[in-house]
Amino acid sequence: MLKILLIDIGYPREELNEPLGIEALAGALLARFEEDVRIELAYLKLAHPTVGVLLGSFRPDIVGISCKIGSFETLRFVQDEILKMDPVPVVILGDSLPTMAYSDVLSRYEDVICVIGEGEEAITAIVEQSLALGPTASDVFRERLVEGAVPNLAINCQGTVVCTIRSAIDCRNFYVKPFRPYVKSILDNHGVIRIEGSRGCPWSQCSFCIIPWKYGQSLWRPFPVQKVLSEIIEVSQAGTGIVYFTDEDFIGPDRQRMFYLCNEILELKRNKVIDASLKFYASTSTRSVIGSYDELENTELLTTMRTAGFLGFFLGVESGNPNQLARYNKGVTVDDNMWALDLLSRCDLDVDAGFIMFDPEMTLHDLRDNLDFLERSGLLSHYSRFGKRLRTVPNTSLFKYYEDGDWITSGVNMDSVEVEVVFQSEDIALIYDTYSRWEERSISMAYDLQSRIRSDLNDSQRIDGLKLELAILRRHDYELLRACCSEAEKDSRDLGKRLRKLFLDMTRRLDNRVGAQ
């Protein structure tokens, strides 16, 4: 019997998320090889034996590791423990780190196998070969995976990194449910339960986005509604009060599917199959919210979703400036973003807005537009973080553009999985540096508040208080950015010196205000 250990390293933040990636892989493997494999799951954010003890007691033939952004240092530790084993098992790395930066990973760990994007087909094929020939970390084993056209792999073959064919599962006919041993522990520790309703994005053309590379295509692929409903029933009956969907764009272009899903959820609630108070939160896009620009249909859909239990959405607004939206290739206008935010508000749906304030080509005019947009849209009094810098990650069109323009000033940071890109405006660079130092003082507090908000959105009174605390932090951020922008627009001379003084003055005022409270 083949022994497989699937490890989720977890996010670096304190927030506890269900390790859906390794649970989905375990479900796929058990459905295909139930009699031939023994699978253990290890979520390092929950209490477990140490990695060394677990490896020594279980003696796995294959170790699969889910490596998210911010997990590289933990990966190094886990890999050191694996290399102490004799024989060394086959090591498969999946999730964000190997998908975005497989070349850099393989330059450090040449014997591992990297999965790019989806892992179900890849890990199934690796297990099939291991059952037929025996698992081994040898060059011959890896070369046979390449020769066998196992999809979605990056492998070091005799010093050369080879990527195999890209493939995406047919989600429409995929009914395999995740193996979920962690639901009770996640709930007991006030964590977040997750379900996957679809993969991909119907737009898939944003210049900063990894989705086209992640899936090897630009299609939006929904899972069968009955599969989604069966998982909703499972987690509801386990005591879940709120479900977070992992989808890049949950609503997508299929309005009839979404109406059908919501009506089925309502029917399950009426028949007491699931808890009547079960709530949902998901991610979507401006394009999906405004749909075909039919105001009545858009309102009807969002109202139906609210009735079914949807509390709100993460919405990738990204900018309130047309130049930035063009650089990001968002496919929407500033007015579209305003319309989507207004529509969600009128339908009593919460919005956690994604916003990219700074990018390498930004001008003072762009910054001013963004600040004005925050006021007009109502996001200024919101709890969403709006001061982020554009992350430039490998295998995106923006990465290629910056690389060709010789703007990249560093290699890939293996922890954040991004490169540094120089700002073209010195004024913007000085403002961003000032804002970054300011945000360092409150970012951990903001993350803690966000985690507490996501952990139990059913307690509306408590959550409203937490959102207010976070909104106050955002207001201070805005005041600093507005003051920095005004200083730069006055005069660029000695701007760095004047911004340092502004930073100290506002820091003292904030400290006095907090002390008075």
**What residues make up the domain containing 77?**
2-163
Answer whether residue 114 shows pLDDT above 90.
yes
Pairwise CA distance, residues 187 & 9, whole Å: 19
C-alpha pair distances (Å), 296 with each of 33, 300, 337, 342: 49, 6, 18, 14
Q: How many residues does the chain have?
A: 517
Pairwise CA distance, residues 377 & 125, whole Å: 49
DSSP 8-state assignment for residue 271: T
Answer whether residue 49 shows pLDDT above 80.
no
What are the pLDDT digits (tens) for 149-183? 899 999 998 889 999 999 999 999 999 999 999 99
What are the pLDDT digits (tens) for 180-201? 999 999 999 989 999 999 999 9
Mean pLDDT of the chain: 92
Residue 106 located in a structural domain: yes
Could you tell me the sign of the dihedral formed by the alpha carbons of 14, 18, 24, 29, in that order? positive
Residue 409 located in a structural domain: yes
Residue 444 located in a structural domain: no
Residue 45 located in a structural domain: yes
What are the pLDDT digits (tens) for 485-508? 999 999 888 999 999 999 999 888
- Residue 105: pLDDT band (50, 70, 90) is very high
What are the pLDDT digits (tens) for 5-43? 999 998 776 679 999 999 999 999 999 999 999 999 999
Residue 500 located in a structural domain: no
What are the pLDDT digits (tens) for 450-460? 777 766 555 66
- The CATH number of whichever domain residue 54 belongs to comes to 3.40.50.280
The 10 Å CB-count burial string (b at 16+, else e) for 386-410 is bbebbbbbbbbebbebbeeeebbee
pLDDT (mean) for 352-363: 96
Which amino acid, residue 54? L
**Domain closes at, from 163, 194, 220:** 163
What are the pLDDT digits (tens) for 310-328? 999 999 999 999 999 999 9
pLDDT, residue 455, reads 64
Residue 37 located in a structural domain: yes
**Domain closes at, from 163, 190, 213:** 163
Q: For residues 101 and 412, is the Cβ–Cβ distance under 8 A?
A: yes
C-alpha pair distances (Å), 218 with each of 212, 213, 320, 347: 5, 9, 25, 30
Answer whether residue 516 shows pLDDT above 50.
no
pLDDT, residue 512, reads 67
Per the structure, the count of domains in the chain is 2
**Domain closes at, from 107, 141, 163:** 163
Residue 350 located in a structural domain: no
pLDDT (mean) for 434-445: 84
- Residue 48: pLDDT band (50, 70, 90) is confident
pLDDT, residue 138, reads 82
Pairwise CA distance, residues 237 & 239, whole Å: 5
Q: Please give the residue that has the higher pLDDT: either 390 or 159.
A: 390
Residue 317 located in a structural domain: no
- Residue among 170, 263, 262, 288 at smallest CA distance from 222: 170
